[in-house]
């Protein structure tokens, strides 16, 4: 799912392309994308784009007359800049926003179409799409700590809960925790002052690093291939690869369709965290350290 750095990059790419331009027409490849009936989608046509906003992991396109199009890309939704009138051919082509010379096309990979489009009248109604999480760049360490300790969860879950923190998901939470050298299963209400200061600083630094990097790229070329797996990442998607800090192999925890990547040496003090699917099979034989894991692999 595109997260804060990715959404920021999309907005950087879109602003010079569509702000001040008239939206001629909106074409739907599937009626299931549109989640509102009033105002009708046709009301957005022939209006000029005035501004773009980020609402959590959503992109809000502001049009003349205080009308807004709110896009949520979900896990597999992506935006593409195409020639005007590009045909919506194929099940993954969900919508096209046609301007005079170009079209902004929304696609979604896979059979589960979860992306959504809402037509909203009035900026006062946009907060309904905000889950309530704080903006890390508009908050101090005390506000950050208060938000993430409102409930006692693992720090991984707290970082990715939109009610607590805005715009962070699976990929960048892995990068943040690796940079902060904190275990993903550390309980928020047990963390020390030093750990909170470190996590706060690292969260800001990691997100700014990626926002700056992706925004520079987006200012030159439209971000056609937004992905959660980037070669420059230290931990996310790097299972089995060497940790760039210590050289130990990155490990993972898998749950449902999500995966948490971490370094045993840098983040968990040498303790191998139990992978739910494998630990059910191995039971008490689940290895607790890297040495035990290597021994198990040799058997």
**What pTM value is reported for the model?**
0.90
Give the residue extent of every domain in the chain. 4-129, 136-292
**Which helix (H) or strand (E) covers residue 125, if one does?**
none
Q: CA 251: distance to chain centroid?
A: 21
Mean pLDDT of all residues in the chain?
91
Q: How confident is the model at residue 288 (pLDDT cuts 50, 70, 90)?
A: low
The CATH architecture to which 136-292 belongs is: Orthogonal Bundle (1.10)
Alpha-helical regions (H) of the chain = 4-18, 141-148, 155-160, 170-180, 193-220, 264-267, 276-282, 290-298
First-to-last alpha carbon distance for the chain, in angstroms, is 38
Q: Report pLDDT for 26.
A: 98
Q: How confident is the model at residue 155 (pLDDT cuts 50, 70, 90)?
A: very high
pLDDT in tens, 75-121: 899 999 999 999 998 889 999 999 999 999 999 988 778 999 999 99
CA 63 – CA 77 distance, rounded (Å):
22
Q: Report pLDDT for 256.
A: 64
- pLDDT of 281 above 60: no
Q: CA 122: distance to chain centroid?
A: 26
Q: Which of 12-26, 32-46, 267-281 has the lowest mean pLDDT?
A: 267-281
- pLDDT of 213 above 70: yes
Give the homologous superfamily in CATH for domain 4-129: MutM-like, N-terminal (3.20.190.10)
Q: Report pLDDT for 276.
A: 57
Cβ-contact 12, 219 below 8 angstroms: yes
Which residue carries 């096209």 as its tokens? 96
Evaluate the CA torsion angle 146, 148, 150, 153 in order and state its sign.
Answer: negative
- pLDDT of 296 above 80: no
Q: Is 32 helix (H, G, I), strand (E, B) or coil?
A: helix
């Amino acid at each position: 799912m595109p997260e804060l750095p990715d959404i920021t990059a999309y907005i950087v790419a879109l602003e010079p392309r569509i702000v001040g331009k008239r939206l001629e027409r909106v074409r739907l490849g599937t009626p299931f994308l549109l989640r509102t009936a009033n105002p009708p989608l046709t009301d957005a046509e022939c209006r000029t784009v005035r501004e773009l906003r980020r609402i959590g992991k959503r992109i809000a396109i502001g049009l003349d007359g205080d009308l807004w199009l709110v896009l949520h890309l979900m896990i597999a939704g992506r935006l593409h800049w195409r020639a005007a009138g590009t045909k919506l051919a194929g099940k993954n082509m969900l919508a096209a926003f046609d301007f005079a010379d170009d079209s902004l096309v929304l696609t979604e990979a896979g059979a589960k179409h979860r992306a959504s489009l809402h037509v909203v009248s009035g900026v006062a109604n946009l907060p309904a799409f905000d889950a309530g999480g704080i903006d890390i760049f508009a908050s101090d360490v005390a506000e950050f700590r208060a938000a993430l300790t409102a409930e006692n969860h693992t720090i991984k879950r707290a970082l990715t809960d939109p009610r607590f923190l805005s715009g962070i998901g699976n990929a960048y939470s892995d990068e943040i925790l690796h940079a902060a050298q904190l275990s993903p299963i550390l309980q928020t209400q047990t963390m020390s002052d030093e750990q909170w200061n470190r996590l706060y600083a690292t969260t800001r630094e990691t997100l700014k690093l990626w926002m700056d990097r992706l925004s520079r790229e987006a200012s030159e070329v439209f971000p056609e291939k937004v992905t959660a797996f980037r070669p420059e990442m230290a931990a996310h998607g790097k299972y089995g690869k060497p940790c760039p800090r210590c050289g130990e192999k990155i490990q993972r925890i898998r749950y449902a369709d999500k995966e948490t990547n971490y370094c045993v040496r840098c983040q968990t003090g040498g303790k191998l965290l139990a992978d739910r699917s494998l630990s059910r099979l191995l039971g008490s034989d689940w290895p607790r350290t890297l040495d035990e894991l290597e021994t198990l692999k040799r058997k």
